[in-house]
Amino acid sequence: FSIAEKDSTILKIPVGRFRTAPGDGYIGKVSFNLMRAFAAKAYYLNQRLQAVTGSTLRQKLAKTFLLPDFHDEDDLFKMKREQLADFVNAARPSVSREISAMQEDGLIEVVKGGIRIVDYDAMENLLP
């Protein structure tokens, strides 16, 4: 299921409409778009599963920081602390403390707009 962030309208399409050939006009496009959306969701959930399998919060954060999908063109990790805490299934204050500790240890650098990995080798050594 999903939770809408704002008021939304749901479009109900009878399942029989999808039993036509995939190349049939708009139904083919809708089918393709649904498959792409489901694939993107499955990929995201797989990444999250990989992140939460760490045994310590530091391992979970390291796995998440090393995921390329959450970095921008300047190689900054771009996720807010609250989202990150939810992603690794931890309390936000604990995540903030661990980020500070990782910065003190020289693994990462917290900069305006994101987090930059400073020592990739040490970060990868945290992984099981």
Nearest to 85 by CA among 77, 99, 95: 95
Give the Cβ contact number of residue 101 at 10 Å.
14
Q: What is the DSSP letter of 69?
A: G
| Structural domains of the chain in order of their starting residue, each with its CATH number | 23-125 (1.10.10.10)
pLDDT in tens, 82-103: 999 999 999 999 999 999 999 9
Give the per-residue pLDDT at 113.
83
How many whole angstroms separate alpha carbon 68 and alpha carbon 102? 19
Mean pLDDT of 48-62: 89
Residue range 9-36: mean pLDDT, rounded: 75
